């Protein structure tokens, strides 16, 4: 288990399941500040046989720099063969339905499970 925590957010990687859970509000200021999170995400691509799950169901807020960071990860996942990427999202959190579709457009095989 690996964690990255900030004042307003918690990120938890369960390595045995290649699941990363996000909680709180991500409002970091740009590429440099999002770097450690992007590196954690990219680490899941080392074992492409396992489905990669990003759980956003408790991520209440994401700024556009955060959306850019996730787009970089999705493009990297798309450009490697055999990566199986899933997002878990919530209808109760408005940005999920509004913005995650932009990431799915980059990688049409990306599955978004809305609950």
Partner 1 sequence: MISQTLGENGHHTAGQCEYLTLAFSPLSAPLRSRWRNNGLSADFLGDYVTTFLPADGNDSGAEKRQSQIRHAVTYIANELLENAMKYHERQTDIPIGIHLELGVDDISVSASNGVGFIKAEHYKSYVEDILKEDPADLIAKHMEGSATENEPNKSCLGLLTMMNDYGARLGWTFEVHPTYSGMMIVTTRAVLSLKSFPGVSA
Q: Which spans of this chain sit near partner 1 (rule: CB under 8 A)?
A: 7-8, 25, 27, 29-31, 61, 63-65, 67-68, 71-72, 75-76, 92-95, 98-99, 102-103, 105-106
CB of 99 to partner 1, least distance (A): 5
CB of 70 to partner 1, least distance (A): 9
- Exposure class string for 22-53: b at 16+ Cβ within 10 A, else e: bbbebebeeeeebeebbebbeebbeeeeeebb
Q: Are 20 and 44 in contact (CB under 8 A)?
A: yes
Q: Smaller CB distance to partner 1: residue 19 or 41? A: 41
Q: Smaller CB distance to partner 1: residue 20 or 69? A: 69
Query: What is the rounded CA–CA span in Å between residue 109 and residue 75?
Result: 12
Q: Smaller CB distance to partner 1: residue 19 or 70? A: 70
């Amino acid at each position: 288990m690996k964690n990255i925590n900030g004042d307003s957010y918690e990120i938890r990687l369960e390595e045995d399941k290649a699941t990363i859970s996000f909680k709180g509000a991500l409002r970091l200021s740009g590429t440099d500040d999002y770097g450690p999170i992007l590196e954690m995400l990219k680490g899941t691509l080392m074992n492409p046989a396992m489905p990669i799950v990003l759980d956003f169901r408790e991520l209440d807020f994401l700024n556009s720099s955060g959306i850019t960071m996730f787009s970089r990860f999705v493009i990297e996942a798309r450009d490697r063969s055999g990566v199986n990427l899933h997002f878990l999202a919530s209808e109760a959190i408005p940005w999920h339905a509004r913005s995650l579709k932009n990431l799915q457009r980059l990688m049409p095989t990306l599955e978004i499970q809305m609950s």
